Amino acid sequence: MASTNVETVSSFADRAKLGLAVVLILAALVGFYELSAQGPLVQWLSVIVGLVLAIAVFFSSLHGKLLVAFGKDAWREVHKVVWPTRKEATQMTLYVFGFVFIMAVLLWFTDKTLEWLFYDLILGWKK
What is the structure's pLDDT at 120? 85
Same domain, 67 and 107: no
Gap between the Cα atoms of 127 and 122, Å rounded? 14
Same domain, 17 and 75: yes
Range of the domain at 17: 12-80
Same domain, 52 and 103: no
Looking at the structure of the chain, the number of domains it has is: 2
Residue 1 maps to a domain: no
Same domain, 53 and 111: no
Residue 7 maps to a domain: no
Gap between the Cα atoms of 54 and 30, Å rounded? 14
Show pLDDT as tens, one digit a residue, over the chain (127 residues).
555 565 555 688 889 999 999 999 999 999 999 998 999 999 999 999 999 999 999 999 999 999 999 999 999 999 999 999 999 999 999 999 999 999 999 999 999 999 999 888 888 776 5
Q: Are 46 and 35 in contact (CB under 8 A)?
A: yes
Q: Are 69 and 8 in contact (CB under 8 A)?
A: no
Gap between the Cα atoms of 124 and 121, Å rounded? 5
